[in-house]
Amino acid sequence: MKDPVRELVEDLSNHGQPSLAWVLRFGAGGGDPVARAWTLSRSPQDMLTLLRASAHPALEAAQRVFAAPVLFESSDLDVVRSDAIRRVVTSPPKFAEVLGTKV
C-alpha cells in the first residue's frame, strides 16, 4: 500500500486535488482525511512537502527535526523522522487548506 501522504502529494501535484478514492478511504467515519493520513504516514519528505504547500506555521520546526541527526540505530529512518515531525506538528494541514494546492 502506498503511503497516504505520498499519495496525497502526488494527487495534488498531478491533479490539484486528491482522488475521490483517497478522500473516501481516509475520510471514512467523518474525520478530516488529511489528519488521518498524517497519523499513518511514514514519508517524512512528503509530510514536509505538504506543510510547505499549505504554508503551515510549523514548517520550520518540522524541517529542523527532519534535518537533525539521529543519535541511535534504527532500521527505518523514515519512521523515526515522520514520528519526530508528528511530535512538532501537532495539528497537520486541514483538508480544506490543501484542496487546489499545487506542490
Task: For residue 100, give the 3-state DSSP assignment.
Answer: coil
What pLDDT does 69 receive? 82
What pLDDT does 71 receive? 74
Rg (C-alpha) for the chain, rounded Å, is 13
**pTM for the complete prediction?**
0.90
Structure confidence by residue, pLDDT tens digits, 19-77: 999 999 999 888 999 999 999 999 999 999 999 999 999 999 999 999 988 776 667 88
Per-residue pLDDT for 89 more than 70?
A: yes
**Confidence at 94, pLDDT banded by 50, 70, 90:** very high
What pLDDT does 30 receive? 87
